[in-house]
Amino acid sequence: MGHRPTILFSLAHPDDESFMVAGVSCKYRARGVRLVLATATLGDAGKVGDPPVCSREELPRVRESELRRAVDLLGIDALHLLGYRDKDLCNADPAQIRGQLVRLVRRYRPALVITFDPNGFNQHPDHIAISRFTSDALAAAADPRWLPEAGEPHRVTRLLWTPPLRPEEIGAGPPLGNRPGVDFLVDIQAWSARKAEALRAHRTQHLSINRIWFDRPDPELALSSEPFRQAWGPPLVSRPEIDLFAGMEAGKGIAPEDRG
Ligand SMILES: [Zn+2]
Q: Which of 87-101, 129-143, 182-196, 211-225 has the lowest mean pLDDT?
A: 211-225
Q: Which of 33-37, 155-159, 197-201, 214-218 has the lowest mean pLDDT?
A: 214-218
Question: For residues 27 and 50, what is the distance between their CA atoms, to the nearest angstrom?
Answer: 33
Residues 249-256, mean pLDDT to the nearest whole number: 73
**pLDDT at residue 2 is higher than 60:** no
Measured in Å, residue 235 CA sits from the centre of ligand 1 at 29
Measured in Å, residue 126 CA sits from the centre of ligand 1 at 7
Q: Which amino acid would we find at residue 74?
A: L
Measured in Å, residue 16 CA sits from the centre of ligand 1 at 5
Residues 45-57, mean pLDDT to the nearest whole number: 95
pLDDT for position 256: 59
Measured in Å, residue 66 CA sits from the centre of ligand 1 at 14
Residue 166: pLDDT band (50, 70, 90) is confident
**pLDDT at residue 85 is higher than 90:** yes
Phi, psi dihedral angles at 47 (to 5 degrees): -85, 155
Measured in Å, residue 84 CA sits from the centre of ligand 1 at 13
Measured in Å, residue 95 CA sits from the centre of ligand 1 at 22
Residues 217-223, mean pLDDT to the nearest whole number: 88
Q: Between 179 and 126, whose confidence is greater? A: 126
Measured in Å, residue 127 CA sits from the centre of ligand 1 at 6
- All domains of the chain, ordered by start, with CATH? 6-253 (3.40.50.10320)
Q: What is the pTM of this model?
A: 0.95
Which residues in 189-200 are b (16+ Cβ under 10 Å) and which e? Answer: eebbebbbbbbb
CA atoms within 13 A on the CB side of 214: 14
Question: For residues 7 and 110, what is the distance between their CA atoms, to the nearest angstrom?
Answer: 5
pLDDT for position 173: 65
Which residues in 149-176 are b (16+ Cβ under 10 Å) and which e? Answer: ebbebbebbbbbbbbebebeebbeeeeb
Q: What residue spans of 12-119 are helical by DSSP H?
A: 16-20, 22-30, 59-74, 94-108
Measured in Å, residue 176 CA sits from the centre of ligand 1 at 23
**pLDDT at residue 260 is higher than 50:** no
pLDDT for position 177: 82
DSSP 3-state of 67: helix
What is the share, in percent, of the chain residues with pLDDT greater than 70? Answer: 95
pLDDT for position 176: 83
Residue 249: pLDDT band (50, 70, 90) is confident
**pLDDT at residue 158 is higher than 60:** yes
Q: Are 7 and 114 in contact (CB under 8 A)?
A: yes
Question: For residues 224 and 146, what is the distance between their CA atoms, to the nearest angstrom?
Answer: 41
Residues 158-165, mean pLDDT to the nearest whole number: 95
